[in-house]
Amino acid sequence: MLDKTKGLKEMSSKKLKKLSAEDKLKLAKKYKLKKEDLISMLRNIYVSRKLDDAEITMKKQSKAFFQISGAGHEGVLTAAAFAMKPRYDWFIPYYRDRALCTGLGVTPYEMLCQANGNIGDTASHGRQMPAHWGNVKLNIVNKSSCTGTQFLQACGVAEAGEYLNSLDAQGDDVGTDNFKDDEVVYTSCGDGTTSQGEFWEGLTTACVNKLPVLFHVEDNGYAISTPTFVQTPGGSISKAMDEFPGLKVLECDGNCPIESYATFVEAVKHIRAKKGPVLVHSHVTRPYSHSLSDDQSMYRTKEELAEEKVIDVFNSYPKTLIETGIMTESEVKELLDEVSKEVRQAMNDAIATEWPKPEDSLKHIFSEDVDITSSEFDTTPTLEGKDDIPMAGAINAVLKREFASNPLLRMFGEDVADFSQLEKLDNPDLSGKGGVFKVSSGVQRASKEGQVFNSPLAEANIIGRAIGMAMRGIKPVVEIQFFDYIWTAYMQLKNEMATTRYRSGGDFKCPMVVRVPIGGYLRGGSIYHSQCGESLFTHVPGICVAYPSNAADAAGLLRTAIRADDPVMFLEHKHLYYQGYNRTADVGEEYMIPFGKARVAREGADATIVAWGALVQKSIEAAKRVESELGVKIEILDARTLVPFDMDAVKKSLEKTNRLLICHEETKTSGFAGEIAARVNEECFESLDAPILRVTARDSYVAYCPTSEDYILPQIDDVYDQLKKLLSF
């Protein structure tokens, strides 16, 4: 193995060539690499490089529309593929990992079909750029363009495997055999991505939980144009991580497939022995620019590129095989000619393959297997006992019942468990936390060991890990403690959770529930405990959004969300958790409400109010005042879910009332009321006898002072005033 160094910029060619050809041959024998294995490695290296060249040709011919190469990384990635098991281990590779994927079994034709965007693309079915790897049959998880999001997802994939194994050991029928007791989860990045915070979150999570994750950092010296030593402490990620608790760190010359294979064999052996995660830091080259959109001659010298050409695996590894007598020069040439011919044929076949039908591009945004708007989710509540269960209690009851009956549910978040240590569960002197609002209290006690646990204080960590679990058949029901702090997780929510099904063409999916306390009216909540922002999620294709106003609806909608096949943002208004006016009797253990079905909270004929969350009750109170003064009847629709939204209910109501007022707590500008108004204008303008009016929060943050808060947030008087104005037209 190489000595620890300060990065590629400070690694001389002499150091990269530390092992002689004879030493490499000895190492190959030690690790039981046969002649045919060494030749197969060269073949895969050639295949990968020629695929890059083919894509570049296609791009020039306008048969591909983007290109980013894996050139220079082929040696270590070929070694990784040889040391691991497709269909057994799991892989979340990044865009340079072409040789890993060909080594695992992805064909040249499949890769070049992705470059062309046609139906032969098994990674994304024409939906993602080239080099966005994925193959459901080989356990290669479809990767997005985002850098750094993969590490937490890899932890989630690993945790899912560990949890499924534990359930299997307890005799639970988990309904899947897609887990192995000693599996390894591989995830990778370039040196630049180690600057992302989620890289460090992923490493921390893997080390704390001793997860079977192999982190591979492929260091080619540059993050586009930024050198490694500019952004990495000590110029070397392996040096920076050298004494990181719980992490085994290995470093290798990634230009030597033999040394790389030895390194990966040791890494995999360590993980399969359940000794915890490993970080492999490989030093590779980048003979081509970052992508075809980049020109590295602008920031790299001719001398540096000439040095790299010598150690580039495409040139150095054939030389090693010739020097050691494994192959002759003519055999190497014959192999390269054979591979070149194979790749040319694959390119021609890919170009001749048809593109998907344009209308198919709208498939797989939401589940096509489970329709949460259907009558299957329309059940009758039992309504036993008194109407004394608050919204928080109704949610809590659903969580307890669902978790007790389904071991594949997992809940985690900040403080959601009763205890972080299971041995405290039986301590009569400790009641347990169960969430800051006590909504998840007792769920840990009602569930199996490992179903409910506390997460780190990191929102992206919660969502990223949940995504990884969801892709393997676990149903996460996670909590973000306050909506105000969800933004560090927004990348995972918007670009990862929401797109998983779509970007993989339905091969992977991400059904999960994200419970989030939201909203103000707290007297003292101030800027960072009063935020609303539901429209920032209704805007994202692939996410369902529920926003109940009362205990019964919260229970019915939550059970539907848990049994859905899509990601759901379940927004729970903090102010409504323990109010007296929105309580319910026990709705029973099977009560569900379809999404996209509004509730008529109050029948009327003279005007329609559409509201959700805290504004439903405020609208009811305002309507009562107006009705008593003017002798009119106001119809109030509680939307209940915003995605899907019940537009039919709005149309039906407007046919009677011909007037519409929309009320929500979010700010006015770009709030969801604007979307409803636009649709009414487009779809039922003829039903309107007056302009559409809105009651919303002012375009401001919520201030701490109670009178300022009242002024900023919409009140009953605001609804009353706008309702009277609407009726005056």
Cα–Cα distances (Å) from 446 to 193, 246, 397, 418, 466, in that order, read: 41, 32, 10, 11, 21
- Both 132 and 270 in one domain: the answer is yes
Question: Is 329 among the domain residues?
Answer: yes
- Both 527 and 478 in one domain: the answer is yes
- Both 688 and 631 in one domain: the answer is yes
Question: Is 141 among the domain residues?
Answer: yes
Question: Is 105 among the domain residues?
Answer: yes
- Both 422 and 570 in one domain: the answer is yes
Question: Is 439 among the domain residues?
Answer: yes
Q: What is the pTM of this model?
A: 0.95
- The answer to whether residues 61 and 292 touch, using CB atoms and an 8 Å cutoff, is no
Question: Is 379 among the domain residues?
Answer: yes
Instruction: Please identify which of the residues 216, 270, 364, 529 carries the catalytic annotation.
Output: 529
What is the predicted pLDDT for the residue at 157?
98
Q: How many CA atoms lie within 13 A of 386 on its CB side?
A: 3
What range does the domain containing 640 cover? 599-727
What is the predicted pLDDT for the residue at 428?
84
- Both 383 and 323 in one domain: the answer is no
Kind and range of the H or E run holding 356: none
- Both 554 and 658 in one domain: the answer is no
Tally of structural domains, the chain: 3
Distance of CA 598 to the CA centre of its chain: 29
Structure tokens at 357: 């039908």
- Both 523 and 644 in one domain: the answer is no
CATH assignment of the domain containing 663? 3.40.50.920
Question: Is 12 among the domain residues?
Answer: no
Rounded Cα distance, 55 and 64, in Å: 7
Question: Is 183 among the domain residues?
Answer: yes
Cα–Cα distances (Å) from 194 to 247, 277, 453, 699, in that order, read: 15, 16, 28, 38
Helices (H), 186-288: 197-208, 228-231, 237-240, 257-272
- Both 301 and 239 in one domain: the answer is yes
What is the predicted pLDDT for the residue at 232?
87
What is the predicted pLDDT for the residue at 201?
97
pLDDT tens per residue, range 446-463: 999 999 999 999 999 999
What is the predicted pLDDT for the residue at 341?
98
Annotated catalytic residue 132? no
Rounded Cα distance, 2 and 282, in Å: 10
- Both 302 and 434 in one domain: the answer is no
CATH assignment of the domain containing 108? 3.40.50.970
Rounded Cα distance, 649 and 312, in Å: 65
Low-confidence ranges of the chain (pLDDT < 70): 1-17
pLDDT tens per residue, range 356-413: 999 999 999 999 999 999 999 999 999 999 999 999 999 999 999 999 999 999 999 9
- Both 575 and 489 in one domain: the answer is yes
- The answer to whether residues 532 and 483 touch, using CB atoms and an 8 Å cutoff, is yes
Beta strands in 62-178 (DSSP E): 90-92
What is the predicted pLDDT for the residue at 7?
38
What is the predicted pLDDT for the residue at 359?
96
- Both 256 and 338 in one domain: the answer is yes
Question: Is 706 among the domain residues?
Answer: yes
- Could you tell me whether strands 599-602 and 452-454 are parallel, antiparallel, or unpaired per DSSP bridges? unpaired
- Both 348 and 452 in one domain: the answer is no
